[in-house]
Amino acid sequence: MGGIFGQVVTAFQGLLSCGFWFGSFLPVAVFAALNALLLHILLRDKDLLKQFVGANWEWTAPVVVALVVYAYAIAPLVPLCRAFLDGRLLPDWLLEQLRRQPVMVKQRALEAVQASLRDLTATSMADAALTRARANGIATGVAAHPELLEPATAAVRRLEASIARGKAPRIRAMQGVVDTVAAALDANGATMLPGLEELDSRMRDIVSAVRNEVATQYDRRTELYNSMPPVMRPTAVGDARFRSELYSQNVYSAGFDFIWSRVQSVVPEIDVATKRIEAARALLDFSVLMLMLGIFLLAVWLPLLALYGNDTLVPFLLLGLAGPVVLRLIYQLVIEAQISLGEIAQVMVDRFRFEVLKVLHIKPPVTLAAERELWSTLSAIADGDAPKADIVWTNPS
């Protein structure tokens, strides 16, 4: 029986790709095993597993063949599941409900960027205020109000102590100290009053440190905000897909659906890019199928285990507690796999877009502006719109 099983596997390996084994067959096999285990727990007295796993493994080959056929049959449903996960097939009312939270998150990210920008501007204004006050004080040439030095020194010392404890000073607190020091500088010549010039230097060091901290925070918040798409999708998977597909439109004015399908057709089979595309797509198919089968497993088995009685209380609790956590991790894997496939797609478009033009018998343009106009025209024609410019064909070699 083992020889027959090996022949079956070899035959299927010749017909099906490695992407199929990892992206479709493996999730089906994993959840078939989980379902068999749960069924064994539910019908423990019948000892279900021994019927399939015997001394000679008699049922192994038929079961594997059945799983292969089943995985091959449901593989075309993976793109449909992806469309649900990224929101393309969701009804309008549900789509709007799901978009509320991402839109609020993006608004808060924008407000955080604006707050950091205001803080950055405040540090520049504080430095300018100190410079202006110092110039005014030096212009007087006298120390008119030396009593202002002591409270200013105390305020700077408290601020330095706060920074030494690892606390970043608030902008308002810093501005209050700056106003105190600026008042002392404005009323007294910095060179006329001992200690005032040193205090000015210490205050400027504090302002510089705060500016560096605020600039780092501004860069981090700006990077987070720029990573969000212009139009928020209802799901994180939709955001990842939209960002990756937006690249070809922003850089080359080429619709992603138009150019990506054609780029894949011109990538040589022996090129390493082919394996990278297949691996990224297999990982995405694997994660999507694992997620959908996991949801189905929880939806079916949690009610069954709950209705069966106390004998299945422990499996019910384990499945109910661990299941959602595992599904959340798998959902994050879907997001990362979508990002990975999108990054590979961007690189492939950069590398092979001119090969697409050769196949279409179009002379590659010499400028980016001309190329953008060309791809925009081709995409418009493919969408059934009026062409924006004429296409000049070349004679086939």
- Identify the band that residue 1 occupies on the pLDDT scale cut at 50, 70 and 90: very low
Place of tokens 């006298």: 142
Using CA atoms of 239, 257, 82, 88 in order, give the dihedral in degrees to the nearest 10: 70
Instruction: For residue 397, give both structure tokens.
Output: 């070699």
Where is 227: in which H helix or E strand? none
d(CA 62, CA 180): 85
- Identify the band that residue 40 occupies on the pLDDT scale cut at 50, 70 and 90: confident
Contacts of residue 212, defined as CB under 8 A and 6 or more positions apart, other chains included, come to none
Highest-confidence range of 13-27, 34-48, 193-207, by mean pLDDT? 193-207
Q: Tens digits of per-residue pLDDT, 320-375?
A: 899 999 999 999 999 999 999 999 999 999 999 999 999 888 888 889 999 999 99
Q: Is pLDDT of 49 > 60?
A: no
Instruction: For residue 232, give both structure tokens.
Output: 């928020």
Q: How much of the chain exceeds pLDDT 90, in percent?
A: 37
Q: What is the pLDDT at residue 2?
A: 47
As a whole number, mean pLDDT of residues 47-74 equals 71
Q: What is the pLDDT at residue 55?
A: 47
Query: Which of 239, 221, 231 has its CA nearest to residue 111?
Result: 221
Full-prediction pTM beyond 0.85? no
Q: Is pLDDT of 220 > 60?
A: yes
d(CA 156, CA 182): 12
Please indicate whether residue 3 or residue 288 has the higher confidence score (pLDDT).
288
Q: What is the pLDDT at residue 16?
A: 61
Of 6-15, 90-99, 151-160, 175-184, give the lowest mean pLDDT range.
Answer: 6-15
Q: What φ, ψ does residue 55 adopt, rounded to 5°?
A: -65, -35
d(CA 14, CA 69): 15
As a whole number, mean pLDDT of residues 29-45 equals 80
d(CA 31, CA 34): 5
Of 88-92, 140-144, 157-161, 266-270, give the lowest mean pLDDT range.
Answer: 140-144
Measure Cα distances from 256 to 54, 77, 237, 348 in Å. Answer: 52, 22, 17, 12
As a whole number, mean pLDDT of residues 377-392 equals 81
Q: Is pLDDT of 265 > 60?
A: yes
Residues 260 and 345 sit within 8 Å (Cβ to Cβ): yes
d(CA 104, CA 117): 20
d(CA 223, CA 335): 19
- Identify the band that residue 4 occupies on the pLDDT scale cut at 50, 70 and 90: low
Contacts of residue 277, defined as CB under 8 A and 6 or more positions apart, other chains included, come to 264, 267, 341, 344, 345, 348
d(CA 63, CA 54): 13
As a whole number, mean pLDDT of residues 238-253 equals 90
